[in-house]
Every structure is written in C-alpha cells, then in structure tokens.
Amino acid sequence: METETRSNDETLLSCRSLTREYTRGADGWLSRVRSTDRPSVTALDGVSLAVDRGEVVGIAGPSGSGKSTLLHLLAGLDEPSDGTIELAGTDVTALSGRGRTRLRLDHVGVVFQRFYLLPSLSARGNVAVPLIQRGRSKRARRDRAESLLETVGLGDRAAHSPDELSGGEQQRVAIARALVTDPDVVLADEPTGELDSATGERVLELLTEVADDRAVVLASHDDRALRRADRVLHLRDGQIIDDG
Amino acid sequence: MAEGSRLRRVVGLVGVGARSAVARLVGGRSRRVLVTVVGVAVAVGFTLAVTGVALGLASGATVGGEDVDYWIVPDDGSSTMTVASDGLRLGDSHATALSIADDSRVDHASPVLLEFVGLENPSAGVGEYVLVVGVVPSDEPFEVAGVSTGELTAGDPRYANGNYGGDPTNEVVLSESAAGLLNASEGTDLRLRTRDVRTQRVAVEDVDGASSAGVGSVPIAVVHLAELQSVTGTTEGDHANQILVITNDPSVRGDLEGVYPETNVIARDGVGLDRSVGDELPLAVVVAAFVTAVGVGALTVATMMGLEVTNDRRRLALLAAVGYTRRSRALVVLVEVLTVALLGGLLGVCLGAAGIEGTNRIAASVVGDAPPARFSPVLVPYGIGLAIVIGVVASLYPVYLSYRTRPMEVITR
C-alpha cells in the first residue's frame, strides 16, 4: 500500500515510492561477475511520506518491517533501488555518496540505538565530532558542545569519557551530537532500545523538545516513544499499512 | 551554520586520529596497537643498532685503540703480500717512508720489498727458495708477514742515506716454516743467493711464527731492506713493493692516498678497516637494514592496523553517519597508523641505543675493548624518520580498508 505524500512549504523531508531491494550474495566480486539470477529481498516497497518542520513522526512496526532501512535511506546512508527522497529542498537520490555525506553534515542529525560514542573522546569531544568536519575552531566546538550538554542535562559531565557515563547519559550525549550542527531533520533509530523506562522517557522528552523548529523521525517499536509522535506510520513487510 | 576553515578541519581530524591511537594504547583497549608499537620499535631498534655498527665501520672508531696499519701498494690489482712480489714497484722508498713517519700520527713507516730468494744452510747442506721480506725495523717491533722484527737492529744501516755504503747487519729472522725447511735455528749462519750468484752471509736472530693471513705456510725470512736490495740489485731507484705504515689513527689514510700516484691504501686486517671490500660496505649495511626494517615493519603495522580497522568499523560508520567524508575518515585512519608508528619509533630509538650499548659490551667481552658500534645523535631523527616511512607505507592497507567500509553494513548489525 502506497500512502499519499502530504507536501507543503513547511515540508522538510519527503520521499516518494521509496523501494529498497537487497540482492543476496551480491557484494562479492565473484558474484558481481557472474550473471546468474540471485534471489532478492524487498526491505522497503513503495513508501511515501512527508515530514513538516516541527513535526514528530513515528515509524512503528515489528522487527524486519523496514523501519531502520527507511531511516537509513532518509539519512542518505543507503541508496534506494527506486523512488525519490527530498531533504531540505535537495533531491537526495540525485547526489553522489560525497554529496549525501555533505547533506547529512549540514541538515541531518542521527541518533542510534547503540549510541556509537567514540571511547577516546570525552562527552564534550563526542558532541563536537561533527563540528571538526565543519572546520570549526577548537573554542567554537567547545562552547557549542558544552551549551548542548547543558541543554541535555549533562553540563557537569562534559569531561567524562563514555565509559564513565550511564546508558541514558550516553544516549543524551548522542542526542546532543545529533543537534550540534543545528540540523533541519533528526532521525532516531530505536533511541530508547537499550534504556530503562525512566531514562527512556527523559530521552524521548528531549527528542520531542527539539522538534520545535525541525522535523523528527522516530523509528521504534516502543509504544511510549510512539505516543509522543504527532503521527505514526505503521510498517509491515516494507510497506506502510497505516498512516495515522 | 557557516563554513569553517579546511586547515582547522585537518588539524581537528589529526587530533581525533592521534587521540584514538594513544587511547587505544594507554587505555589498554587494544592489544593489537601495543603489539604494533612494539613491532615498529623492534624494527627501528634493530636498524639503529646495525646502523650504529655501520657508523663504527665508516668512522674507524671500531679499532681506535688498536694498530690500524696501512699498506701502500701499487694499483695493479695486488692486495696481498703473496701476490705482490712482482709487478709495479714504488721508487725512492726509504725517503718516502721517512717523510711519512714524520707525521706525528704515524708510529713508523717502512718500505717492504718482497723477493723470492735462495737461502742456503751450508752446515746442513740444504737450500730453499723463501720469500725474503726487506724492511726498515724500528725500536718498537712490528710484524710483517706474521714475523716479528723485534730481533732486528732498528733502522737500516746499510742504506746510509742512499749511498748503500753502510755496514750490513747480516741479521735475518725466519718464520718457523722457513727454519724447518732450512734446518736452521737461532745462531745458524745462512747464505742469501740470487740468480747472479751474489751471496751474503746472514745469521738467524730469531725464529718466529708465521701466522699472518695471506701468506699461510710460505717460508718467510725478514731482513733489512737495503741488504735485500743489495743482494737483488734493486738499490738503484730504491725500489720496494709496498710501504707499511704503522699507526693507530685512521685519519692518516687520506694523506697516504696521495703519497704515490696509482697506488691503493689498504688496511692490514680487521673488519673495521678492511678496505678490500670497499668503502660502500657501511652504506650497504645501512641500506639493507633500512629496507629490511621498512619491509618487515610495514607488513607488521599494515596487518595489525588492518585488523584494528576491520574490528572497529563501527567508529568509521559513525563518522560517516555524522557527515565525515571518506577522505576525512581515511585521514583519521592515516593519523592513527602514523601515531602508532611514531610511538614505536620513539621506543625504537631507545631500543637502538640500548642495542648499540649492548653490542659494544658483548664485543668488549668477546673480542676486546674496541667498540664496534657508535651512537650518533643523528640516529634519533633517523629512527623517527624510519618509523614514519614504515607508517606511511603500512597505512596504505588500513586506509584502503577504511575506504571500503560501508556504514550501512556496520550500523545495521
């Protein structure tokens, strides 16, 4: 089932007829040379959606329904087999890998279930990582990172290494990192997946707070998370079965 | 958000890479990094120790405390005494040797004339051709062809400032093999005979062992130069085959090379100054050690850091996810490898210094007190530079792996 795309001037992120097929065994050089047909798996099948500024959209569905695939495509981390993605007025599918990376740096903040903090850096250093790629001065990076750590309630933990932080604190650091470039879109993939309920509530509160002037897409099978969304899209077998 | 500067980005990426490498090492997060540092250190340390020996070879410091006698020989391919009894000869040899000996760095200089001459022992009724070596002995005995001149009168009285009118000493020192052939011992009267049947009576002053390399068991008789010249008819022109320069200062060598045209200056013996193998030996040793260290070190670093990159692809995936380009990620990996190599280089310099010291101590206990290796301050930047070369060569593989890492493959796991 393909849902209708609601697009207007406030739309920051949209996709149309998004399809992603994976071909089994297609990664090896030998399999690329061989011309035999290989079985393929459709992870996403003709998905369309639009997310407006200030909107929190939840993506619900069981494991394997295509939630993460959709998020990765929207972030430009993967390429669709078919369909288009528009992010902040740019056709993502027309960009090269380098162009998508650049677009991510400028417009997208990503939050993962497993935080992915760099153990060699402090909380402050982790938040500031994207600013290095932007060529920001050390002082500017430090000020911006500390300001965001204050925002997420970790002002006093800036110098701590990830090993010294709890899971909830690490996820808040990851959220601060996602916001450090002031992105238009925040994509969160199971952000509460490894947190207890109280900590998860705090993280979700943070994510919905940041949606004031940006679009937030939240993939989760946690009902608490989905209840905070303005609307929830239900995925099953790579298709949207309900656009609520 | 406005664009920052490229330089700041590069500096920031270098910082991320360097911190990551140090944290893995110091924080004990990766034993592979520790092994890599040790691997580079061993390669650099080994190279510096070998280079220290090569420096010792090149500078001559290895035999600084010993005699480093030189031979001036005609440039006709001859390099040992046994093959130099014929061929080109050096003229005006007494005066030349005297002028060489005037140098304060030279203990003594003696022309050396080599002739196969018949020696007879009339009392025993035996006669044999032996290699007779004519020299100008000094107060300090020295060995020529393995035979000591200690029992010969110092100087060359027969020469008499070139008129050969002085009294001969009629002294001869025989090698053991010559004494055996002639059935002679100390005090035996012998006769020197040449093809024109001129003879000269000589008395055996000593029988000495002839163990010098290059002459083997050839029967040797050592006499005063002018007396041999008189017998063999080489007084005109004051010919000699070679000039032996006894010194313990290797710096003399350069001056000796200009004494006669078309001559070679070769060291008596010893690995440190055996120029018969060429001046290129120390350089060849250094180059061989360098190439070996780069090869072995780079393979070690490439393998270990390649495994490290493969094992830590999540970090690269994260960097990609937050907007780091492939080039930026590659720079982080490059800096990591270089940092590890640099740390290994610093440790390697210490190992190299210890290796040189250890080599010298072992050499002192085994072969004497001459230090075969030398530590120079130049070895510090050399070792660090070598480590960087190892790092640059080795980084190709980890950087290639970082290029190949696809964020999706890692993040979705």
Q: Which CATH number covers residue A50?
A: 3.40.50.300
Whether residues B1 and A97 touch (CB distance < 8 A) is answered with no
Q: Count the neighbouring beta carbons within 10 Å of the beta carbon of residue B316.
A: 25
B260-318 per-position pLDDT tens digit: 887 878 776 443 334 444 567 778 888 888 999 999 999 999 999 999 888 888 888 88
> Side-chain half-sphere of B306: how many Cα atoms within 13 Å?
14
Overall pTM > 0.90:
no
Instruction: Quote the DSSP letter at residue B90.
Output: B
Candidate from A146-150, B52-56, B67-71 with smallest mean pLDDT: B67-71
> Side-chain half-sphere of B25: how many Cα atoms within 13 Å?
21
CA distance B135 to B124: 27
Mean pLDDT for the stretch of residues B329-333: 94
* Closest residue, chain B, to A78 (C-alpha): B408
What 3-state class would DSSP assign to A172?
helix
- Would you state the pLDDT for residue A8? 61
The CA distance from A145 to the nearest CA of chain B, in Å, is 14
**Pick from A108, A99, A101: nearest CA to A51:** A108
- Would you state the pLDDT for residue B279? 60
Whether residues A101 and B320 touch (CB distance < 8 A) is answered with yes
The CA distance from A68 to the nearest CA of chain B, in Å, is 8
The confidence band for B59, taking pLDDT boundaries of 50, 70 and 90, is low
**Looking at the partner chain, which of B23, B315, B322 has a beta carbon nearest the beta carbon of A130?**
B322
**Best residue in A133, A164, A171, A189 for a mutation probing chain B (most B CBs within 10 Å):** A133
Torsion region of A135: left, alpha or beta (phi above 0 gives left; psi -120 to 50 gives alpha): left
* Closest residue, chain B, to A114 (C-alpha): B411
B22, B338 contact by CB (below 8 A): no
A196-235 per-position pLDDT tens digit: 888 888 888 888 887 778 899 999 888 888 888 999 999 9
* Residues of chain A contacting B19 with CB distance shorter than 8 Å: 120-121, 125
ipTM of this complex prediction, to 2 decimal places: 0.86
CA distances in angstroms from B88 to B91, B151, B226, B241, B260, listed in the order given = 10, 30, 19, 7, 12
Number of domains, chain A? 1
The two three-digit tokens of residue B155, written as one number: 């100087």
B68, B60 contact by CB (below 8 A): yes
Q: Count the neighbouring beta carbons within 10 Å of the beta carbon of residue A155.
A: 12
**Looking at the partner chain, which of A101, A118, A141 has a beta carbon nearest the beta carbon of B325?**
A101
A135-183 per-position pLDDT tens digit: 999 999 999 999 999 988 899 999 999 999 998 899 999 999 999 999 9
B320 close contact with A: CB closer than 8 A: yes
User: What residues make up the domain containing A227?
Assistant: 11-29+39-243
Task: Please state the separation of Cα B407 from the chain's center in Å.
Answer: 55
* Closest residue, chain A, to B2 (C-alpha): A134
**Looking at the partner chain, which of B1, B4, B322 has a beta carbon nearest the beta carbon of A177?**
B322
Partners of A85 in the beta sheet? Answer: A15
What 3-state class would DSSP assign to B266?
strand
* Residues of chain B contacting A173 with CB distance shorter than 8 Å: none
Q: What are phi and psi of B277, to 5 degrees?
A: -90, 0
The CA distance from B45 to the nearest CA of chain A, in Å, is 29
**Pick from B201, B176, B198, B174: nearest CA to B189:** B201
CA distance B301 to B281: 29
As a whole number, the mean pLDDT across chain B is 82
CA distances in angstroms from B171 to A31, B163, B189, B309, listed in the order given = 93, 20, 10, 81
CA distance A233 to A226: 10
Domain ranges of chain B: 6-62+281-411, 68-267
- Would you state the pLDDT for residue B343? 95
- Would you state the pLDDT for residue B262? 79
- Would you state the pLDDT for residue B163? 85
A11 close contact with B: CB closer than 8 A: no
Work out how many CB contacts closer than 8 A connect A with B. 104
CA distance A193 to A189: 9
